[in-house]
């Protein structure tokens, strides 16, 4: 009877301790929700030092994300490690991230993999996805597409959009699985419906090119639009092209200019070139040779030979810039290395230039190439 009484008292103490922990932890949560990080820190630190893994994880979060404390990756690592050793999957995953991203520790892919495995084996979808990524890239272990695919599937079936997108890529390229466009469409669709911009763009590509699905430019335009609104440059350019040519949408030059501009401002070379054409030919915008020159120059500086040719032509005609045969010859000479019309225009310009002018133009072309087309 004495032994039973002692056992009951121990259980009662444990239950009481859990109730107190729960109440104090909740105080910390409520404080954090109202932005009172000092109180949250106070409540969670006491519990963390007593071994509460949830509190340890939360302290790790605070130090990693600089919430109520100065950012301190080493402190974050310490608290994550304590929680991780108790089996907290979030802490295990975050440790993997920190080792992979060199936060508070030297970059160590092998250590990242070890922590990802612990979390992944407990069903953490983010860890499963990242473990798949490590196998796909061969970081911290030997590259293995089949194993990468297996981990992606585990995460994808739990709804992880990044894993679903990666499975679409693997299926499209035949890495770790049979090359299968229908399967790629399936996984891209799952990810796209969750808002994954890259999946939305790729899905648009597949509907446009009839890969794994019947060609449907309207559906392609729909997916491009969703991706474009998230800033995907490829989708923005393709959507501009579809409005430009009236594919899957009603032809609308203004809409084409809008989407080309968004892509061009992010550095898309094809969008920059097409914008130059739109301004030159007054499609969707008033004719503006200066704007045409601006966008031709942006694309030319990235090495687009057709843009280099058109920029040379603008100098030859004096459209948007002062007429200057030396600069015209320079750009045509550069374009001519890959674009035959450039050679033709360059040779015609030489008929109207002095030997000294031709020599000067050739010198500028050499300098321009040396500067990688910038500031010519």
Write the pLDDT tens digit of every residue in 178-228: 999 999 999 999 999 999 999 999 999 999 999 999 999 999 999 999 999
**In contact, 228 and 235? CB cutoff 8 Å:** yes
What does the pLDDT average to over 344-359?
A: 97
Locate 77 and state its tokens. Answer: 């690592």
Q: What is the mean pLDDT of the chain?
A: 92
Judge whether residue 3 has pLDDT over 70. no
Residues contacting residue 222 through CB under 8 Å, at least 6 positions apart:
204
User: For the packed helices 125-137 and 145-157, what is the interaxial angle rounded to 10 degrees?
Assistant: 160
Residue 238 backbone phi and psi in degrees, to 5: -65, -35
Judge whether residue 280 has pLDDT over 50. yes
Q: How far apart are the first and last CA of the chain?
A: 96
pLDDT confidence of residue 22 = 65
pLDDT confidence of residue 261 = 98
pLDDT confidence of residue 152 = 98
Taking the C-alpha atoms of residue 332 and residue 254, their distance in angstroms, rounded to an integer, is: 30
What does the pLDDT average to over 323-335?
A: 97
Which string of DSSP letters, residue by residue, matches 165-186? HHHHHHHHHTSSS---HHHHHH
What does the pLDDT average to over 262-277?
A: 98
The shares of helix, strand and coil residues in the chain, as percent rounded to the nearest 5, are: 75, 0, 25
Q: What is the per-residue pLDDT across 239-257, written as a single tens digit (0 to 9) for each?
A: 999 999 999 999 999 999 9
Q: What is the per-residue pLDDT across 291-311, written as a single tens digit (0 to 9) for each?
A: 999 999 999 999 999 999 999
- Report the percent of the chain where pLDDT is more than 70: 94
Judge whether residue 318 has pLDDT over 80. yes
Judge whether residue 7 has pLDDT over 90. no
Residues contacting residue 204 through CB under 8 Å, at least 6 positions apart:
219, 220, 221, 222, 223, 224, 227, 235, 238
Judge whether residue 12 has pLDDT over 50. no
What does the pLDDT average to over 105-121?
A: 97
Q: How many CB atoms lie within 10 A of CB 354?
A: 10
pLDDT band at 29 (very low <50, low <70, confident <90, very high): confident
pLDDT confidence of residue 32 = 81
Locate 207 and state its tokens. Answer: 């509907």
pLDDT confidence of residue 13 = 27
pLDDT band at 23 (very low <50, low <70, confident <90, very high): low
Judge whether residue 18 has pLDDT over 80. no
Of 16 and 288, the structure prediction assigns the larger pLDDT to 288
**44-58, 222-236, 322-336, 352-366 — which is least confidently predicted?**
44-58
Which string of DSSP letters, residue by residue, matches 59-94? HHHHHHHTSSS---HHHHHHHHHHHHTTT-HHHHHH
Taking the C-alpha atoms of residue 267 and residue 280, their distance in angstroms, rounded to an integer, is: 20
Taking the C-alpha atoms of residue 184 and residue 190, their distance in angstroms, rounded to an integer, is: 10
Q: What is the per-residue pLDDT across 54-103, written as a single tens digit (0 to 9) for each?
A: 989 999 999 999 999 999 999 999 999 999 999 999 999 999 999 999 99
Judge whether residue 265 has pLDDT over 50. yes
> Cα 29 to the chain's mean position, in Å?
32
pLDDT confidence of residue 10 = 24
Which string of DSSP letters, residue by residue, matches 310-332? HHHHHHHHTSSS---HHHHHHHH
pLDDT band at 4 (very low <50, low <70, confident <90, very high): very low
What does the pLDDT average to over 334-340?
A: 96
**Cα Dmax for the chain:** 117
pLDDT confidence of residue 41 = 86
pLDDT confidence of residue 259 = 98
pLDDT confidence of residue 19 = 41
Q: What is the per-residue pLDDT across 135-183, written as a single tens digit (0 to 9) for each?
A: 999 999 999 999 999 999 999 999 999 999 999 999 999 999 999 999 9
Taking the C-alpha atoms of residue 131 and residue 89, their distance in angstroms, rounded to an integer, is: 14
């Amino acid at each position: 009877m004495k032994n039973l009484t002692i056992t009951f008292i121990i259980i009662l103490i444990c239950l009481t301790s859990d109730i107190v922990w729960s109440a104090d932890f909740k105080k910390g949560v409520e404080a954090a929700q109202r932005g009172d990080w000092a109180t949250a820190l106070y409540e969670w630190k006491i519990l963390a030092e007593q071994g509460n893994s949830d509190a340890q994880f939360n302290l790790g979060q605070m130090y990693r994300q600089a919430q109520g404390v100065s950012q301190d990756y080493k402190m974050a690592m310490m608290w994550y490690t304590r929680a991780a050793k108790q089996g907290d999957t979030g802490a295990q995953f975050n440790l993997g991230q920190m080792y992979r991203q060199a936060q508070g520790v030297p970059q160590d892919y092998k250590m990242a993999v070890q922590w990802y495995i612990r979390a992944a084996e407990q069903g953490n979808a983010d860890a499963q996805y990242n473990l798949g990524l490590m196998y796909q890239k061969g970081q911290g272990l030997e590259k293995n597409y089949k194993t990468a695919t297996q981990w992606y599937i585990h995460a994808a079936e739990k709804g992880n959009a990044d894993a679903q997108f990666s499975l679409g890529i693997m299926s499209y390229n035949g890495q770790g699985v049979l090359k299968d466009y229908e399967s790629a469409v399936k996984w891209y669709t799952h990810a796209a419906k969750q808002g994954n911009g890259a999946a939305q763009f790729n899905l648009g590509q597949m509907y446009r090119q009839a890969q794994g699905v019947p060609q449907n430019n309207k559906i392609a335009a729909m997916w491009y639009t969703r991706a474009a609104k998230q800033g995907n440059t490829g989708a923005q350019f393709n959507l501009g092209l579809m409005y430009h040519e009236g594919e899957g949408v009603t032809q609308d030059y203004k809409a084409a200019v809008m989407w080309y501009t968004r892509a061009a401002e992010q550095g898309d070379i094809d969008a920059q070139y097409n914008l130059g054409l739109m301004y030159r030919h007054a499609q969707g915008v008033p004719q503006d040779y200066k704007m045409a020159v601006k966008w031709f120059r942006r694309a030319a500086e990235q090495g687009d030979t057709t843009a280099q040719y058109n920029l040379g032509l603008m100098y030859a005609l004096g459209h948007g810039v002062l007429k200057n045969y030396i600069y015209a010859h320079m750009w045509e000479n550069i374009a001519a290395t890959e674009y035959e019309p450039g050679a033709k225009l360059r040779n015609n310009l030489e008929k109207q230039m002095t030997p000294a002018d031709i020599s000067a133009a050739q010198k500028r072309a050499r300098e321009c190439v040396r500067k990688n087309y910038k500031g010519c």
